[in-house]
Amino acid sequence: MPPLIIFKCSKCNTVRGSYSEAERCEESHLSAVSVTSLDYLLGPYPVRVVLTFPNGKKREYQIID
């Protein structure tokens, strides 16, 4: 039996129909160019950060426990 070949985006893990579709999906995801910590509580990790992307857009993320 031939091996099962699955084409999956390495960023979001979405299964695609071909290698080129998976590659296109990977290229569509942006990686942050900077991370700014906003708030800390007790401990070494920030609880709120702002990510800046190559297109200039900023997104704020907050931990929810």
13-65 residue pLDDT tens:
999 999 999 999 999 999 999 999 999 988 888 999 999 999 999 999 998 87
Torsion of CA 56, 15, 11, 24, to 10 degrees: -50
pTM: 0.67
Closest by CA to 12, choosing from 23, 24, 26, 33, is 26
